[in-house]
Amino acid sequence: MTSLPGTLRTAAGEINVERPVIVGVVNATPDSFSDRGDRSTAGSIRQVEEHLANGAGIIEIGGESNVTNRPAVSPGEEIDRILPVVSAAAEAGAIISVDTYKPAVAEAALQAGAAIINDISGGGNLELMGVAAEAGAGVVLMHTVVEPKTQRWDEAAYPEGITAHQLAFFEERFETLAGLGIGRDQIVVDPGPDFGKTPAQTVDSLRGLPELCGLGCPVMLAVSRKDFIGAINHRRPSERGPGTFAALAFGLDCGGRLLRVHDVAGTRDFVQVWESLRGELEVDPALRIAEEIRREPAKGDV
C-alpha cells in the first residue's frame, strides 16, 4: 500500500490521521434521512457533547439534509440552524467540520470556529473554495456528478469505470484548488457513496479505495447508514449498523482513516477491537474481563 499521509492541515492546526479518526455527525436539521432524534438546537448541542464523550475526534455539523424530497434551505436559515451548535462545539474544544456547499454558510461557520468544510457539491464552486482557502481550512472533496439534493441512477454513467472516473475527477480538482492556495495536505478525499451512483456503482467505487488512497490525501469513509447498505441488507437506516461496520472495516483495511458516522460509541468500540487485532493497539498480557460485565445479569437482578 502507498504510504498514507500522517496529518491533515486545517484552520485549527494539523490533525493526526495516522490512526482512525471518528467524525461524529450532528444533523442540526429537522429532515435528516437517517436520524429521528431531537433535532432542536439544544438537542444538537447535547449530541455534540455525547459525541465528544464517546471519542469523536471531529464533530461534523450540517444544517441542510441532502434528502431529495425537500427544497434547499436559504443560507440565512442554514446559518441560523448551525451557528449556535458550531459555537457550542468550539467552546467545548472540538475540531469542527461543517457540511455545506454555500459560501455564506461556510464563511459564518469558519468565523465561529469551524476548521473544515465538507463540500457535497464536489469542490467546483470557486467562491466556496475561496472562502476555505482564505481561512486556511481543511476541505473534504467529495466525488459527485450531480447537484446537491438531486439523485441520478444511471448504469451507463461511468463507461470508463467508476474508479478511473474518480481518479481523473480528483486530480482535476487538486489542480484547481492548488490555484486557490489549497494544497493536498488540506484535502480529504471522499468517494461519495450514493451521490450520483446506483448502489452497485457505490460498491464498485468503494472497491477502488486502494487506488483513491494512493492520491496522497486522507480518505473519508462516509458510509454510515447509506442506501447501498440498505440495498444489500434490505434494512432501514436505523438498522444499518452492522452493515456500516462491515463497510468501515473494509475501508480501513484499504487505508481510509476518517470515519464519518452517526454511532460514535459503537464505532469507537469497533475501532478498539480492529486496532487490537492488527497489533496497532497494545493489549496487556494480563488483560482480563471484569466479572460485572462478563455476563448479562439474571432477570430481576437489575
User: Known catalytic residues?
Assistant: 226, 260
Q: What are phi and psi of 61, to 5 degrees?
A: -110, 130
Q: Element (H or E) spanning 25, and its range?
A: strand 21-27
CA atoms within 13 A on the CB side of 89: 36
The span from the CA of 97 to the CA of 55, in Å, is 16
Q: Name the packing angle between helices 75-91 and 103-111 (round to 10°).
A: 20
For residue 18, the Cα-to-chain-centroid distance in whole angstroms is 16
Angle at 226 between CA 255 and CA 195, to 5 degrees: 85
Residue 245 contacts by C-beta under 8 Å, 6 or more apart in sequence? 266, 267, 270
Residue 246 contacts by C-beta under 8 Å, 6 or more apart in sequence? none
Nearest CA-CA partner of 188 in 255, 107, 269, 266: 255
The span from the CA of 132 to the CA of 127, in Å, is 9
The span from the CA of 252 to the CA of 281, in Å, is 15
The span from the CA of 249 to the CA of 65, in Å, is 26
In this structure, the strands spanning 220-221 and 187-190 are unpaired
* DSSP notation for 116-176: EEEETT-S--HHHHHHHHHHT-EEEEE--SS-TT-----TTS-TT-HHHHHHHHHHHHHHH
